[in-house]
Chains A and B, each alone.
Chain A
């Protein structure tokens, strides 16, 4: 089973700043099968990034994904108030399709 470890657990930043979230896999993950989701309190997760770097429909271009092998990252170039949420990475290229434990992005 591939374990995904996200860091940091909590990230405190101000609107307008740049956020970089990390997702490290215990085994190599094909880039085609690495996704990022955003979850706000009381809501279902929303797909942000798939294929490690492709933005899902309707996702603003301030969100970008990168990485390969075992190290992936999600970058939010200029934080807006609506971006403060919990972010999860997921790999779906090896069953079971595991999620990371999440990074909480909070307002500083």
Chain B
């Protein structure tokens, strides 16, 4: 059974750095086709894609948040980590990780397949 589980702090202070971990099971991050994305959802609002890491370790980021985000993986621990710097109350949200089971070459670039398995999400509140 494929599962993803997010973990990290429930509360962070403004200007701090958030570190979230996505621990996967049922598949290997070293699989040549699979990738993982992070997506967030402020309370009562829509989903917002943040970052993706491909099996090759190539990464892709939200244009508006790129300067604040870093995504990387530790294959030996079956973990994908997202860091977000300079946290602000507007970053209060539920953060999800999700698996993409494949990728495709399209328009001179690589793009993930749809996100077929999601973690349960972890709620992060930014407040002093």
Contacts and interface: CB of A to CB of B under 8 A. Distances in A.
Interface of A: 1, 30, 32-33, 35, 37, 39, 44-47, 50-51, 56-57, 88, 90, 92-102
The interface residues of chain B, by DSSP majority, are classed as strand
Given A92-B114, A97-B49, 13 more contacts: A35-B115, A45-B47, A47-B115, A47-B117, A50-B116, A90-B49, A92-B113, A93-B111, A95-B52, A95-B109, A96-B49, A97-B37, A99-B47
A44 B96 contact: yes
Interface residues of B, number: 29
A46 B111 contact: no
The interface residues of chain A, by DSSP majority, are classed as loop
Contacts of A37: 47, 115
A96 B60 contact: yes
A90 B114 contact: yes
Contacts of B109: 95
Contacts of B47: 37, 39, 45, 88, 90, 99, 102
